[in-house]
């Protein structure tokens, strides 16, 4: 289902808050914080045609419902199958799906979410670029500068590599800025597969359409379900980007970043102009950024601990820095192996807590109880120093920091009854 059709269907539900027209400065954020248990649908004041949705993924149940799975195991298996077996893509006629539009960056749904932000932002913008024979689809926040240019944050991953190679040859990199993708393509764009694997094929394998169009100027493949395509270049020019409130609710610094320059705009002839307004440091942000990592952690842990049952990136860690792994132990040392494998599966994790499978990983009380009753700090707490880390962690300057492992599992050499939490009679 396209995002356009999904918003139309969601708008009629009782658990949706139709907020009407909102000022693009702070009001979408206020609406989301005031209605955390509801999807929020709105338009932006000023005659904007864009229909926006926030809180699309309020919790794990929403994510699994949108993906058509009923359990953690189903999700892990479905994601991993798509991740390693992307669908072949069918190229269809561009003119059947898109038409050129007389727009500028001013017409896009830029929003200022927090007082600390350096300007108005697009937060669900996906950039698709190709270098030589490799194409990449990935999320990048975009800050409005003027009608003709914006800055985007690019961390050192695949698009960064493409931009660097292009700029080294004295050329701007052609890209397509894409808005209004479906949930399958959004998750795929956040998945970061090995270089050379096109994320659009992963999104198609997850359940989306495998049809793409080639953009008129540069022949960039874009999913046909998108609401808007903006062809342009990531130029060799730089400008200021930020500050910006990140997934942890902290203020990311102001820095020089590449400038995006639009060249042509195309609107869908089959879907209305819709936009997923991801409010930073809220559930949409948490689940779309973190959920593609959980199956990869699960796969890594399963290689050394076949009894792994559940993996969670916790909300307190922004669904990024704190990993909780539940296992059914088979041998001594397995919990530590599981923790090390979790760090391999998600190197950005700062803290890994391993618990037994009787602990509910979604309940912070139970996890803390396991640490309180099953951890012996002198034996079960490990600190790894100066490892690869996340730049989101303010205590890991330049992406190098310490890791903490907490083993909160029952000692296999002692009676299990000693560590069993009683239930109400």
Q: What angle do CA 201, 206, 310 make, to 5 degrees?
A: 125
Instruction: Determine which one of 172, 246, 356, 380 is catalytic.
Output: 246
CA distances from 109 to 50, 51, 188, 226, 377 (A): 7, 9, 22, 15, 50
Residue 246 falls in the annotated catalytic set: yes
Report the catalytic residues: 246
């Amino acid at each position: 289902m396209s995002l356009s059709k999904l918003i139309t269907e969601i708008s009629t539900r009782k658990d949706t808050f139709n907020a009407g027209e909102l000022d693009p400065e702070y009001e979408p954020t206020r609406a989301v914080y005031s209605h955390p248990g509801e999807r929020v649908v709105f338009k932006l004041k000023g005659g904007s045609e864009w229909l926006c949705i926030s809180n699309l993924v309020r919790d794990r149940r929403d994510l699994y419902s949108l993906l058509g799975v009923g359990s953690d195991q189903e999700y892990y298996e479905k994601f991993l199958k798509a991740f390693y077996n992307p669908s072949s893509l069918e190229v269809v006629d561009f003119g059947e799906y898109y038409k050129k539009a007389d727009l500028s960056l001013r017409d896009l749904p830029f929003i200022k979410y927090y007082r600390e932000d350096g300007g108005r932002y697009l937060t669900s913008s996906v950039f698709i670029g190709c270098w030589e024979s490799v194409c990449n689809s990935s999320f990048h926040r975009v800050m409005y500068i003027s009608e003709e240019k914006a800055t985007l944050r690019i961390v050192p991953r695949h698009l960064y590599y493409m931009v660097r190679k292009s700029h080294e040859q004295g050329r701007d990199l052609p890209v397509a800025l894409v808005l209004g993708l479906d949930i399958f393509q959004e998750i795929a764009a956040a998945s970061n597969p090995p270089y050379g694997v096109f994320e659009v094929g992963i999104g198609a394998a997850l359940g989306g359409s495998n049809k793409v169009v080639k953009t008129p100027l540069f022949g960039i493949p874009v999913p046909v379900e998108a609401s808007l395509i903006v062809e342009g270049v990531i130029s060799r020019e730089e400008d200021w980007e930020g500050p910006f409130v990140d997934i942890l609710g902290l203020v990311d610094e102001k820095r020089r970043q590449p400038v995006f320059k639009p060249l042509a705009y195309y609107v869908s002839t089959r879907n209305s102009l819709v936009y997923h307004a991801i409010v930073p440091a809220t559930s949409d942000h948490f689940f779309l950024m973190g959920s593609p990592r959980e199956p990869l952690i699960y796969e890594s842990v399963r290689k050394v601990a076949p009894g792994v049952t559940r993996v969670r990136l916790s909300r307190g860690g922004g669904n990024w820095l704190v990993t909780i792994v539940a296992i059914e132990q088979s041998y001594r040392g397995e919990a530590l192996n599981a923790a090390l494998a979790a760090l391999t599966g998600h190197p950005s994790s700062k803290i890994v807590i391993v618990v037994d499978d009787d602990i509910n990983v979604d309940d912070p009380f139970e996890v803390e109880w396991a640490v309180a009753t099953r951890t012996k700090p002198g034996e079960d707490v490990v600190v790894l120093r100066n490892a690869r880390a996340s730049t989101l962690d303010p205590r890991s300057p330049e992406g190098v920091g310490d890791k903490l492992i907490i083993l909160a599992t029952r000692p296999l050499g002692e009676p299990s009854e000693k560590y069993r939490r009683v239930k109400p009679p």
